[in-house]
Amino acid sequence: MSSLNDKVALVTGAAQGIGRAIAQTLAERGADVVIADLQVEKAETTASEIAASTGRRAIAVKVDVADSSSAKEMIDRQDPGPRRNEHRVADVHPPLPTDDRKLADET
- Give the residue among 41, 44, 87, 39 at the shortest CA–CA distance from 65: 39
The β-bridge partners of 83 are none
- Give the residue among 43, 23, 42, 25 at the shortest CA–CA distance from 33: 23
Q: How far apart are CA 38 and CA 44, in angstroms?
A: 11
The β-bridge partners of 60 are 35
Q: What is the pLDDT along the chain (107 residues), one digit of tens a residue?
A: 568 887 888 898 999 999 999 999 999 999 999 999 999 999 999 999 999 999 999 999 999 888 888 888 877 776 544 455 555 555 554 454 445 545 454 44
- Looking at this protein, which amino acid is placed at residue 107? T
Task: Look at residue 7 in the predicted model and tell me its pLDDT.
Answer: 86
CA contacts within 13 A on the Cβ side of 103 = 3
